[in-house]
Amino acid sequence: MSIPAETELQTATVEKLQDLIQTNIDSVKGFRESADEISDESLASLFQSIAQERSMLAEELQQIVASAGEKPQQSGSVSASVHQTWLNVRSKLSGGDPGAILAEAERGEDVIKGLYEDVLKETAGSPINALLQSQYATVKHGHDRIRDLRDAYQKKT
Give mean pLDDT, residues 119-146.
93
pLDDT exceeds cutoff 70 at 132: yes
In which band, very low, low, confident or very high, does the pLDDT at 33 lie, cut at 50, 70 and 90?
confident
Write down the pLDDT at residue 157.
Answer: 67
Q: How confident is the model at residue 44 (pLDDT cuts 50, 70, 90)?
A: very high
Q: Looking at residues 12-40, what average pLDDT do you find?
A: 89
- What does the pLDDT read at residue 3? 52
- Does residue 61 sit within a domain? yes
Helix (H) or strand (E) holding 3: none
C-alpha pair distances (Å), 146 with each of 98, 103, 110: 11, 8, 10
62: in domain: yes
| Average model confidence (pLDDT) across the chain | 86
Looking at residue 73, its amino acid is Q
- What gap in Å lies between CA 51 and CA 45, rounded to an integer? 10
Whether residue 7 is contained in a domain is answered as: no
Cβ burial 58-75 (10 Å sphere, 16+ → b, else e): bebbbebbeebebebbee
User: What CATH number is associated with residue 125?
Assistant: 1.20.1260.10
Query: Is 3 part of any domain?
Result: no
Residue of 113, 118, 114, 108 whose CA lies nearest to 12 = 118
User: Does 1 map to a domain?
Assistant: no
At residue 77, φ and ψ (nearest 5 deg) are -95, 165
| pLDDT, mean of residues 86-115 | 80
The DSSP line for 63-106 is HHHHHTTSPPP-S--HHHHHHHHHHHHHHHHTTS-HHHHHHHHH
pLDDT of residue 34: 86
Arithmetic mean of pLDDT, 13-32? 91
Which pLDDT score is estimated for 58? Answer: 97
- Structural domain contains residue 144: yes
So what's the pLDDT on residue 77? 77
pLDDT at residue 97 is higher than 60? yes
- Distance of CA 112 to CAs 2, 135, 138, 156, Å? 23, 11, 11, 27
Query: What is the per-residue pLDDT for 7?
Result: 43
What distance in Å separates the CA atoms of residue 70 and residue 152, rounded to the nearest whole number? 43
Judged on CB neighbours under 10 Å (0-12, 13-18, 19+), 124 is exposed
Q: Is residue 5 part of a domain?
A: no
The more confident residue out of 73 and 45 is 45
> 89 falls in which pLDDT band (50, 70, 90)?
low
Domains in the chain: how many in total? 1
Is 6 inside any structural domain? no
What is the residue range of 24's domain? 18-68+75-156
